Structure 1
Amino acid sequence: MSSGTLLAVCRVHELLPTSDSTGVTAIDKRPAAGPVKVHGLGLSGDLQASRKHHGGESKAVYAYSQDDADYWAAELGTEIMPGLFGENLRIAGIPVSEAVIGERWQIGATTLLEVTCPRTPCRNFAVRMQQPRWVARFAEAGRVGTYLRVVRNGTISAGDTVSVIHRPNHGVTSGDVFRGVSGEQARLLARAEANGGLRLSPELQKILRKLHRRQAAANA
């Protein structure tokens, strides 16, 4: 299995006003100094203003890779500092956007996380970046990072090793889900869950139900 390095642990710096029904966004993340505790809903000292879209048990932690940040730094001509994209974890050495659904990462001595689903860029992200067609450009590049659930609480710090200790053999990645799973990929995910080797997030369950309905309608 592969391993990488946790470059930064980021949590909310300040809540920013928005024009949506929530009224604020916690996208302004900054690196924390020293160890940070991790629990079922994310990092101590962090929050998600709208857990419907950016939080909850299956989206407790958002990770982004340094390789993807470097891509955007070259595209935009500016450094992409850890936390700028609203990520909690900036990681080097692991292809975060192409992590396999259900893949498990151990960070440091105790914390265990599990890959659940990709990030979907939103309007608040576009407002933060102030770049033309930002949501569309971010989506088209496919470098969206991934959400993770917390399997085992612990404490993490910048510099910790991130070890991939389990990778399901269904092979469907977070990036595949973002791009749109095929019928075969949907069957692989459903079979893995039925066999007890995978716990699909509510977001993925919803995607698979929609795909099943479309296929049933097409075959009717």
Structure 2
Amino acid sequence: MLSVNVGVPRANPAKKLAMTGIDKRPVDHPVQVRRPGPKTTGLHSGLVGDPIGDIKSHGGDDQAVYAYAREDYDWWEKQLDRQLAGGAFGENLTTLGIDVNGAMIGEVWRVGEELELQPTFGRIPCATFQARMAEPKWLKRFTKENRTGAYLRIVTPGFVQTGDPITVVHRPDKSVSIAEAFQVYMLEPARLARLLDAEALPDGMRAEVERRIS
């Protein structure tokens, strides 16, 4: 783990909301990670002390933690000709050496000694992300390149800190990778039924897919 990042509340004119927590900054101490509960009525972020402004779109048990790979940041730095520090995309965990986009929905990561996390889906970009990056047509570009990072739900609560190792301790027999699921959902609607192969697909998304293909 390269860094653990917690949000600093900022005004959010992009969505006419009072606050956004997308401005994530590295912290140098262990952070408690627990299940936040339902998206709009729970504790919102899985990390204690991490604010979320748009509680209709972000947070909740299926988006409790957001991870992004340093390797993908390095790729984007070359494309954008600018430096991108950990937390620049609003992720809680900046990883190194684990295939975040290739992770299978429903596999289990052990982080440090006790925390266990499960990838659920890729990050769908929003207006707040566009405003933060200030890059032309950023949302379309981010979607097309499919280097989304992964949202994770919490299997076993615990603490996380910079330097913690991340190990894949379980892979489902049948699933879909974060990258393939995002590609299908965003760009290949004719293949939506493929997402149903992921048993750990978030319930809300499963219901949406079943409705769209019925």
Higher relative contact order (CA 8 A, sep 6+): 1
SS class of match (2:101): helix
SS class of match (1:23): strand
Q: Displacement, 1:55?
A: 0.5
SS class of match (2:56): helix
SS class of match (1:114): strand
C-alpha change, 1:16 and 1:202, in structure 2 (3 Å) is: farther
C-alpha change, 1:174 and 1:203, in structure 2 (3 Å) is: farther
Distance in structure 2 (CA, Å) of the matches to 1:32 and 1:176: 32
SS class of match (1:64): strand
SS class of match (2:86): coil
- Asked if 1:131 corresponds to 2:126, the answer is no
Letter in 1 for 2:30: P
Task: Give ranges in structure 2 of 5+ residues lacking alignment.
Answer: 37-45, 186-190
SS class of match (2:209): helix
Distance in structure 2 (CA, Å) of the matches to 1:142 and 1:206: 23
> Partner residue of 1:7?
2
SS class of match (1:127): helix
Letter in 2 for 1:154: G
Distance in structure 2 (CA, Å) of the matches to 1:45 and 1:8: 16
List aligned pairs for 1:27-42, cutoff 5 A.
27-41=22-36, 42=46
List aligned pairs for 1:141-180, cutoff 5 A.
141-180=145-184
Q: Displacement, 1:170?
A: 1.6
> Partner residue of 2:205?
204
Letter in 1 for 2:112: G
> Partner residue of 1:218?
none
- Asked if 1:118 corresponds to 2:122, the answer is yes
- What is the aligned length? 200
Q: Give the CA RMSD over aligned residues.
A: 1.6
> Which structure 1 residue ranges, 4+ long, deviate > 3 Å from structure 2?
none
Q: Displacement, 1:78?
A: 1.5
Q: Displacement, 1:21?
A: 4.7
Q: Displacement, 1:80?
A: 1.1
SS class of match (1:96): coil
Q: Displacement, 1:16?
A: 2.6
Q: Deviations over 1:136-176 (max 9, x none)?
A: 11111100111000111111111110000011122411111
8 Å contact kept, 1:18–1:25: no
SS class of match (1:200): coil
Q: TM-score, normalised by structure 1?
A: 0.85
8 Å contact kept, 1:38–1:153: yes
Which one has a larger percent helix, Structure 1 or Structure 2? Answer: 1
Letter in 2 for 1:108: G
- Asked if 1:96 corresponds to 2:124, the answer is no
C-alpha change, 1:164 and 1:173, in structure 2 (3 Å) is: same
Letter in 1 for 2:58: H
Letter in 1 for 2:7: V
Greater Cα offset, 45-54 or 30-39:
45-54
List aligned pairs for 1:39-50, cutoff 5 A.
39-41=34-36, 42-50=46-54
8 Å contact kept, 1:14–1:28: yes
Letter in 2 for 1:23: A
Q: Deviations over 1:59-113 (max 9, x none)?
A: 0000001111111111111221011100000001111122100011000001010
Distance in structure 1 (CA, Å) of the matches to 2:142 and 2:196: 28
> Partner residue of 1:20?
15
